[in-house]
Chains A and B, each alone.
Chain A
């Protein structure tokens, strides 16, 4: 069965610094997608970044980038120049068209220190 593991329940980073959130997954599928979602106190799930498994190039969205290591089944999120608005719960997620369901990690709560 597919699993997604986030080993850091909480992390803190100083404002303007860089932080990396870890995520590993397990799958036997070859066609899948990986996502990072942000959930602020409003509970709205906001898509931060998406990576297709067949793409070797790491996805980047402004201050957010991923380090996708397919062989190691690792998908970490790097947030550069951290801002107070980045404080939220971050969920790593996996989706395979063959399963047609999205699986979430347990989340990492990110605190931004002013």
Chain B
């Protein structure tokens, strides 16, 4: 079964509104979670690294005020797209690192979220 759950899988919102996407690790405590954006026919683009109890680390070119990341607990990170615009429409996917020694820093992915801004 899934070890990382992402919700919602699909969301449609009006331009100018905000939308929140949740990422939960189900079987382990994830001190680090990652948020990606994937454009059609392209690879995953790392947006930010979410660290539990501290501020997220954003990649160059990603607007931190637009893509708010909160990692309030060891099993939950949220991405909020604020004042969404049609160009923010995309596939967003999270991942979490399992630090357990036996699983060797394996990184598991959520199911992804399709965001459509109309």
**From residue A60, how far is it (CB to closest CB) to chain B in Å?**
15
A47 and B43 contact, Cβ closer than 8 Å, known pairs A100-B32, A102-B34, A102-B95 = no
A95 and B107 contact, Cβ closer than 8 Å, known pairs A43-B93, A101-B49, A102-B95 = yes
Bound-state CA distance A97–B31 (Å) is 13
Contact of A106 among B43, B108, B109 (CB under 8 A): B43
Q: Could you tell me which residues of chain B, from 75 to 114, have a CB within 8 Å of some CB in chain A?
A: 91, 93, 95, 97, 104-109, 111-112
Instruction: Judge whether B11 is part of the interface by a CB distance below 8 angstroms.
Output: no
For A35, list chain B residues within 8 Å (CB).
Answer: 106-107
Q: Could you tell me which residues of chain A, from 58 to 114, have a CB within 8 Å of some CB in chain B?
A: 91, 93, 95, 97, 100-107
**From residue A12, how far is it (CB to closest CB) to chain B in Å?**
17
A43 and B105 contact, Cβ closer than 8 Å, known pairs A102-B34, A102-B46, A102-B95 = no
- Range of interface residues on B (Cβ < 8 Å): 20 to 34
Instruction: Judge whether B42 is part of the interface by a CB distance below 8 angstroms.
Output: yes
Kindly supply a per-residue 1/0 record for chain B positions 50-64, scoring 1 wherever the CB is within 8 Å of any chain A CB and 0 otherwise.
Answer: 000000000000000
Contact of A33 among B32, B104, B109, B111 (CB under 8 A): B104
- Tell me whether A50 and B104 are in contact (CB under 8 A): yes
- Tell me whether A43 and B43 are in contact (CB under 8 A): no
Contact of A43 among B46, B91, B104, B106 (CB under 8 A): B91
Bound-state CA distance A33–B104 (Å) is 8
A104 and B106 contact, Cβ closer than 8 Å, known pairs A43-B112, A44-B112, A45-B93 = no
A33 and B44 contact, Cβ closer than 8 Å, known pairs A44-B112, A101-B49 = no
Instruction: Judge whether A52 is part of the interface by a CB distance below 8 angstroms.
Output: yes
Bound-state CA distance A95–B32 (Å) is 13
Instruction: Judge whether B38 is part of the interface by a CB distance below 8 angstroms.
Output: yes
Instruction: List 24 A-B pairs, Cβ < 8 Å.
Output: A33-B104, A33-B106, A37-B109, A43-B93, A44-B111, A44-B112, A45-B93, A45-B112, A47-B107, A47-B108, A50-B104, A50-B106, A52-B104, A91-B43, A93-B107, A95-B97, A95-B107, A100-B32, A101-B34, A102-B34, A102-B107, A104-B44, A105-B43, A106-B43
